[in-house]
Amino acid sequence: MNTNLTATSLKAKLQPFIKGEIDDTDTSRELYSHDASLFELRPQVIVAPKDVDDVKNIVKFVNKHKKSTPSLYITARSAGTDMSGGAIGESIMVDFTKHFNQVERVSATSANVQPGVHYRDFEPETLKHKAWMPSFPASRELCTVGGMVANNSGGEMSLRYGKTINFVNELRVVLSDGKEYAFSPINKTELKTKMAQKDFEGELYRRVFKLVDSHYDKIKAAKPHVSKNSTGYNLWDVWDKEKGVFDMTKVIVGSQGTLGLITDIKYRLAAKEPYGGVLVCFMKNMEGLGDIINTVMTQHPTSFESFDNYTLNLSIKFLPYFRYNLGWKGLIKLGLQLVPDALILLKGIPKLILLVEFTGQTQEEVSSKLRATRALLQHFNLQAMEEEETEAKAWKFRIMRRESFNLLRKKVKDKHTAPFIDDLVVPPKHLPKFLPELRAIVNKYKLQATVAGHMGDGNFHIIPLMKIEDPKERAKLEPAMREVNTLVLKYGGSLSGEHNDGLIRGPWLTRMYGSEVVGYFKELKKIFDPDNIFNPHIKATADWDFSMSHIRQRF
């Protein structure tokens, strides 16, 4: 890497400006050179800012030295579970988990929280108020709330509640001028006042307003017609002419640390319904899937998840693995709960397992929804159905669905997870045609892949296992991705519902949106970050050759 500041000199020069720790040891640089993607970028230093002043000073330091050291930049990192390569970088890594880890205030309707708080620590606090932030991802035991905002994450509950973007009331962010700003929805009068300011913030509001107002119809029309999307910047949600509301948080959510560093979050919370149950449907083949989806959706389930026979096989093969999450007691409980299902599985492994979840204020309400849906599905092509009338009973299948990617990452040692077609979304009505065509491409490239996902949103996670260090295997990435992406766009879908662009999908944004809209994304990035100091290699400024030259070599 061409830089005038080596890791050692960078640490020595930066340390006097900040109170937090700076780590330049080889062990840490190695650890932070990976996230959950198939890429690697080795940072020079990992900085753990102590407070907002530290964050501001890191940005000011980069601004000061950027001319003499053009390769200097900042990558924000929280738990580092990003699957797209968004949480790795070759320069300064800013780790929010060490000191930005306070749940500051929680009520039944909202919460203030720092970005480095793990979701697993946040949820128990909100549940004390019978409330939650229901857009949690399958990585809920690993990820932070800051990463969820920066990726606009979603998960099993997004069918009912939407994604993280729906739950952000206010954000505090350190921008490229090294100052912290608060962003929340504002009305026309407030917008006018902001635009009249003669400072960086005033310029920011003037230029973003001009961008979204002068291309209003084009930008609104660019919004993907799917129920969840994490590609590009959410420009279409910033300015609502009719309501006169201007909301800058909409582009910061999902921006993967490319516009600034999030230092504080005010979340809206949803009331958690106290009762839940799941109808588990085992399908022997895909016949009639479209009608099944349509029928289930008429019942308005809270979540509607699925996983395939490969995922099920994997979970059964590595059942003891669940001990790490569940403990011995939990593992035994899981094993015992699966005994009745063994009878169903003995008749042949189902091709697809559907989990249809209902929640409600009483157990009776949940049970009657389960019974009604079961009755409607009685005459469809199903191998079996099983009602799990409580959340506790449904847990055995949910854990398989949530843990499938982690299982692959940890357990299959001779090959590695290669997330590159890992987050496709198409309108669910197209799934019966889309899924077999998708499987044909997966088979054509001999990709050994599990398929799991959010059936109700038409959002699928395809995780191939590959020997990615083998050039022959690596050569499959581009053509397979081209075919899959073409298929997704043919059915009016999006290349990512939850996992965002990062290094892997950033280079495909033009294919999805066209060059004019990507031009708007690039302009937004320039307005916020004129010198490209925040995560410069991802999203709208990503480059395929750069990404491909950083495929992970070490495992």
Ligand X SMILES: Cc1cc2nc3c(=O)[nH]c(=O)nc-3n(C[C@H](O)[C@H](O)[C@H](O)COP(=O)(O)OP(=O)(O)OC[C@H]3O[C@@H](n4cnc5c(N)ncnc54)[C@H](O)[C@@H]3O)c2cc1C
**Interacting residue with ligand X among 80, 456, 458, 506 (CB under 6 A):** 80
Please state the closest distance from residue 445 (CB atom) to ligand X, in A: 23
- When asked if residue 81 is in the footprint of ligand X (CB under 6 A), the reply is yes
- When asked if residue 43 is in the footprint of ligand X (CB under 6 A), the reply is no
From the CB of residue 300, how many other CB atoms can be counted at a distance below 10 Å?
12
**Interacting residue with ligand X among 99, 499, 505, 537 (CB under 6 A):** 499
Q: Which is nearer to ligand X, 163 or 369 (CB)?
A: 163
- When asked if residue 115 is in the footprint of ligand X (CB under 6 A), the reply is yes
Please state the closest distance from residue 508 (CB atom) to ligand X, in A: 17
**Which residues, 317 to 356, sit near ligand X by CB under 6 A?**
none
- Distant-in-sequence, close-in-space partners of 471: CB < 8 Å, separation ≥ 6: none
**Interacting residue with ligand X among 54, 498, 501, 529 (CB under 6 A):** 498
- What's the token pair of residue 301? 């389930």
Please state the closest distance from residue 140 (CB atom) to ligand X, in A: 8
Q: Which is nearer to ligand X, 96 or 282 (CB)?
A: 96
Buried b (16+ CB within 10 A) or exposed e, 230-249: bbbbbbbbbbeeeeebbbbb
Please state the closest distance from residue 112 (CB atom) to ligand X, in A: 15
Distance CA 100, CA 49 (A): 8
Helix (H) or strand (E) holding 12: helix 7-14
Measured CA angle at 207 (ends 205, 212), to 5 deg: 95
**Which residues, 85 to 104, sit near ligand X by CB under 6 A?**
86-87, 96
Distance CA 175, CA 497 (A): 26
Per the DSSP assignment, residues forming a β-bridge with 266 are 112, 170
Q: What are phi and psi of 318, to 5 degrees?
A: -110, 30
Asked if 15 and 53 count as a contact pair (C-beta separation under 8 A), the reply is: no
| Count of positions on this chain that bind ligand X (CB under 6 A) | 37
Distances (CA, A) of 107 to 127, 313, 383, 452, 554: 10, 42, 45, 34, 45
Q: Which is nearer to ligand X, 147 or 301 (CB)?
A: 147
Among residues 118, 116, 127, 251, which one has the least CA distance to residue 183?
Answer: 251
Q: Which is nearer to ligand X, 307 or 389 (CB)?
A: 307
**What is the SS3 assignment for 328?**
helix
Q: Which is nearer to ligand X, 32 or 209 (CB)?
A: 32
String of contacts with ligand X for each residue 215-254, x by CB under 6 A: ----------------------------------------
String of contacts with ligand X for each residue 284-323, x by CB under 6 A: ----------------------------------------
- Distant-in-sequence, close-in-space partners of 225: CB < 8 Å, separation ≥ 6: 427, 492
**Which residues, 382 to 441, sit near ligand X by CB under 6 A?**
405-406
Distances (CA, A) of 183 to 49, 186, 205, 469: 21, 9, 11, 43
The residue at minimum Cβ distance from ligand X is 147
**Which residues, 125 to 164, sit near ligand X by CB under 6 A?**
137-139, 143-144, 146-148, 150-151, 153-155
Please state the closest distance from residue 539 (CB atom) to ligand X, in A: 9
Please state the closest distance from residue 172 (CB atom) to ligand X, in A: 10
**Interacting residue with ligand X among 20, 257, 277, 458 (CB under 6 A):** 257
**What is the SS3 assignment for 349?**
coil
Q: Give the binding site for ligand X (CB under 6 A).
A: 35-36, 75-83, 86-87, 96, 115, 137-139, 143-144, 146-148, 150-151, 153-155, 256-257, 261-262, 405-406, 498-499, 535
